[in-house]
Structure 1
């Protein structure tokens, strides 16, 4: 029997217990006095916390399949200290269950990441194993064709090329010596023996896999030459197609393989693919006994040749098209359709080098009439019909006279661009001085236009003094801004292909007028004008250098910028004082443009 435990009896309350010479009542009173001075909360906060001891993982590092050295981290300890509360234990249990679920799902989702070399090596081994199985017993392992197709669709270019070559060799071995026809519904429902059913299943599997393989060859052979991998893959695909055409020309999808070769032969550049396709076609013609494959290849080549349009026929068609287009342009210019005038002028500028010289005279006369019509005075004869006056007002609202006149100047000079302008002008009696003079008179009024840099797409407030119809009208004859058209016109006049043909008086007059207009233009337009003047100074240095000479003048008299004729304005009697004002322009780009222009003049 176990020994009985002794019960601890407390002394009675009335008995005084002496401890270290003091009674219990004395100890209690001293404890109560000292407890008042204690700060239990602060003492509790100052106590050191007990933290869980982390176990040291002193295991050696491991080397992964990618060749990386990683430190192995062992699993965390599942056992907790006895001091943990029940809530912590419950929380850890939920976390453990979540971790178990994650660990159960990660093996199925995560895939081992292999290096490129390991992928190639593993693919080689797998391809060799599958090829050997299909070579031993193709009927038994015919399902391995899907595995070959899956390996070929890899993102690695080398693996893809290995897969293409392997499939080519496999199909050359397992393809029968006859053409497999598709099964009809009656054939599939008919009762056959076990051997026939097995043979049909094998044949359909071969045809299905071969069709998918040929389509893959078509896709890869047509890849653009954007990278070296794409070029090499296309070369391998073409080589496989050539090999199949020469090895199994009797089998299904021969036309698809021939399309690959004909596509390579239809290109202008002679490269390795072109040579392979040509040699394969030559070998097919030489070894074809029945002639069916040769006939099909010859038909495709003839269609490819017919698809190439002859240069003579193309030039003839383009000439007829231009005649019709220019006929429409001339009719629009004669009828003065305001809404179409700008588009017609821009079209003439674009195709001016294709216009026959016999039409230059009539076209320039039509352009002159447009400009003269724009320069007519605004007062209308009182005896005119009221209906005609209303029509003219409506046309004026739809037209932008300044832009149309600039387009006429650009078109006139574009007609002779790229040709012997002086010879053509003398032979055909073409006079371009009218357009030059009109541009000279238009330059200064155009510089005062506040909307010279705005297009129909620019966001700006409408003119409050304009009418309702004019404020709502946003269409313009050209998408370019007015300052762009002005620069194009000045470039055609001052910097033609034959720069020596420009008279010095014309150069000086336009240079003086451009610098005067630059004082009124906005920042970007003024910078562009100074850039054009700098180009003119580089081309015609000595011809306009006298304008910057304040001590000696080449001309006598007074400069008249408002003269109708350029030669009568006497530009060499003036000096370029506008440069001093432009040096103090608020825009740094304008100041730099003036300094650049003066540095060019000083270098003369």
Structure 2
């Protein structure tokens, strides 16, 4: 038997033992951390309501807050509502006392802006650090491109949009700097298996990583634009749908920059496929951005690879959308650098010939074996030069020919199937530029189509002018060998001139001046004098109501016509008498009797408010002399009518040249006021003002000049 003191000591030790006092239902050790599932289970096991002593209010348990280390229960007090006491009911359970942990204090607007600026500055510094490291040593730090590209997935909602835009633009500039000047091709299995130097291996790793990261970057840009178009975002996306428009615009801008800056590098055709459809985008800013980029690409493309790829994509889009595209898409094709499509056989003169040693020089300076090797070397160099020149020239002409065939295919499809489309003006402009490169087989059919378009009456004046311009470009190129008299097109232009609106003539004056140059000046041997005089009179008539820039261009065109047809000066002589009456409203230039009238409009234009118009009018009245009295200055006489029209343009609604200030009529000095007064009168005025007496005591009549009438 144990004594009472020993039993009490054993009981106390047993109570302090961990394996007795802890919950035996759990197999985990005491020092082990509880897992998330166990925390949730423990939370679920706690009773929602329990008795509380000396407290009448009830707590409503809310959803808990999930912290990094634990779950923070939340609750709020429920107002006590009086209710009837039910003796049979069980005692009311009260909610358990749970310690409520309040969240951190909410930030004010200024603090939030300051916090956002701090975060944004950190991201900018990181972007700058990565970009500097990549540009400093691209071969070693190519992996940092992946780190920078990972920032495109920024998840902080406060800075996500800005950071992603900065990363897009930064990566674009980085790729423009580190991309080599050649296309990187994938290695073959034999090349991968072969042993190479350390430098070669490092270069291959750099090229492989560069192509891989460049591809992923383009895919990211494409995905941003695709998400914006489809209006589909993930629920966890940190950027709202409204902000995606700005992101997509930056992505399109980056693709346009890369398309223009890196036409020689990999995936260039893929970029073209992504950019060209956005030329027809409903957003005007995006559409203009893509059109400008395509124009730059076509202007700088010398060989023709990029132009051919772009024209193919444009042709597919125009056909797939059933010709419902913006005219700007077709107007970009006017920037194609295609001047010839015929293959020339003589390719030896394409490059300057290399100077080789003569036989005497070889015999004097070289040994027999050296002369033998030198002969073989020079023969090989000649063959290489010939092969290189012929191949590059033939390849360029072949690409240009194929490109132009696709362009004409687009134009002819629209002329055949969509003559009432908004694309027709752009098609006519394109035909006017490239008409001299069309095959002779299509000339008759194309001229018939253009004539029918004008006769149908559905075209505007600008479109009709483009048809006329196209017809004469065809006849001025390869069409010179054809025996065709385009009298009907002269009649169309003569008729259109009177219908041109004075308000809109400025927009169409450039086309009219180009048509006049091709129809009258360059074809002066095929044009009769009566026809030239009729155009001279009608142009003088419409110059009375046009803007000054158009009037200058028209008078310059009249000067050119008078030089091309010297006998037209009969219209400046008032003493000449013809046989008939001038018919100004007749639309046939051959039968309106222009020789029976005079250019009286020049007298009105001589008093024009524009100084250049006055100069041209006075010059024409004297017969447009090339030298001597009445001749024009060199700046005006050597400029073409179209160039003068552009030089004196008034698109900004300003005078060109600016009107000088009127001469000042003010005096150089002013007389002081009291000098106009008589000395005695001034003395009296000063006395009155000093004494503040009655002003009626002054007698002004006594001090008037004797010459002044009373």
TM-score bin (small chain):
0.3 to 0.5
Greater RCO (CA < 8 Å, at least 6 residues apart): 1
| TM-score with structure 1 setting the length | 0.40
| TM-score with structure 2 setting the length | 0.35
> Is the radius of gyration larger for structure 1 or structure 2?
1
